[in-house]
Amino acid sequence: METIEKLVVDKKNESISWFRFGQTKNITIPGLDQATIEPKKWNILVLTGSGEPPNSLMILDDEGRMLRELSPPDGFKFYYLSNHPEIGGAVVCVTDEPIQGWNDWLFGIDYSKSSLIKHCPAH
């Protein structure tokens, strides 16, 4: 069941807002870069960081509580948030050295291990 609706990202004011069961939720996130709804678990994925590229992936529940905070995988940098039909919420990460001919890779979230799993090249 959908619990998060109308996610609004205000990068300038470092805040996100959304509706949850008819109530507005709003939180400030220092260093906010991007945010998206994770459609399989109904969490909010947030990339943050004071520089370029973002250096932290925050996973929030539908109330805005922090569930996990992840760093980029070794050898990669966060690039942007995405959704994939098989794995749900995902993050595209880039590497300087191509792997199997690709620099951009889609990583899914393994909630049980609090880690990112390389899924496929990002197209």
- Concatenate the DSSP letters of all residues of 87-105 into one string: TEEEEEEEEEEEETTEEEE
pLDDT of residue 67: 95
Tokens of 12: 């300038």
Helix (H) or strand (E) holding 19: strand 15-20
pTM: 0.92
Our CA dihedral for 93, 118, 90, 56, rounded to 10 degrees, sits at -50
Residues 97/104, Cβ–Cβ less than 8 Å? no
Which residues span the domain enclosing 30? 5-121
Q: What is the pLDDT of residues 38-62, one digit of tens each?
A: 988 889 999 998 777 899 999 999 9
pLDDT of residue 1: 58
Number of domains comprising the chain: 1
Q: What is the pLDDT of residues 52-109, one digit of tens each?
A: 789 999 999 999 999 999 999 999 999 999 999 888 899 999 999 999 999 999 999 9
